[in-house]
Amino acid sequence: MADAAEEMEAVLSGKAWDVGGGVGGSAEPHIPVRLGSSVCYVVLAVLFNAEDAVLLVQEAKPQCRGLWYLPAGRVEPHENLGAAVRREVREETGLQCEPLTLLALEERGPMWVRFVFLARHTGGTLKTLRDADAESLQALWWRGDPRALPLRAPDILPLLDLASRYRRAPPPPPPSRRSCRAPSSACGSSSPSRAAPGGTFGCC
């Protein structure tokens, strides 16, 4: 089986990737995965400011013009996910950001995958109606209930809840400073590996 990193690199670089048949061995013809052609990778960013307001954008697309959503958009060929997040946030809100962590990975079948990132605002100027373009009409920091706004889709509500819970969670404990010893199995013994105190394995 091909390595997942190799597959991701191939698709993000604009190459085709043969996904093969279905689990049940379907005889239907399959189409190689090609970013921008047969598969759509989407990034979505969740940003909060110091007052816990969330960054929202007002859509400019004809089919959802005037509705509100999180900054999101398609990954372009030859673009990595971090660069896609930074570009979409900049184009739709006027702000610069830095992705912090991947919050969720969503899919609607193998041909539509969305990567949801928590990101941090690092600079830029918030887009206003005077800056409206094809990417968005404007952006704002919203402190109220997002359901009070006309949303493009309610699918962002559980993502906002997930991001809020992640931010409230205590940070993970620092890694142990204890020396790491390899179990005897790593030295050629047939005895099984055992977990070290704290739930980590002794073999680094």
Does the pLDDT of residue 3 top 80, yes or no?
no
Average pLDDT of 27-37? 63
Among 41, 148, 132, smallest CA distance to 93 is for: 132
**Distance between CA atoms of residues 193 and 94, nearest Å:** 52
Residue with tokens 């009409």: 137
Nearest 10 degrees: Cα torsion 16, 9, 172, 54: -70
* Opening angle at CA 153, ends 149 and 155, nearest 5: 110
Number of alpha carbons in the 13 Å side-chain half-sphere of residue 197: 4
pLDDT tens per residue across span 101-114:
999 999 987 788 99
Length of the chain (residues): 204
Residue 38 — pLDDT band, cuts 50, 70, 90? confident
Strands 54-58 and 72-74: unpaired
pLDDT score for 191: 39
Higher pLDDT, 96 or 40: 96
Residues 6 or more apart whose CB falls under 8 angstroms from that of 137 comprise 57, 58, 59, 60, 65, 66, 129
List 55's β-bridge partners, or say none: 141
pLDDT tens per residue across span 117-174:
999 999 999 999 999 999 999 999 999 999 999 999 999 999 999 999 999 998 878 8
Among 155, 51, 159, 141, smallest CA distance to 93 is for: 141
Higher pLDDT, 170 or 9: 170
pLDDT score for 9: 64
Contact present, 135 and 60 (Cβ < 8 Å) = yes
Averaged pLDDT of the chain: 80
Query: CB atoms < 10 A from the CB of 108, how many?
Result: 9
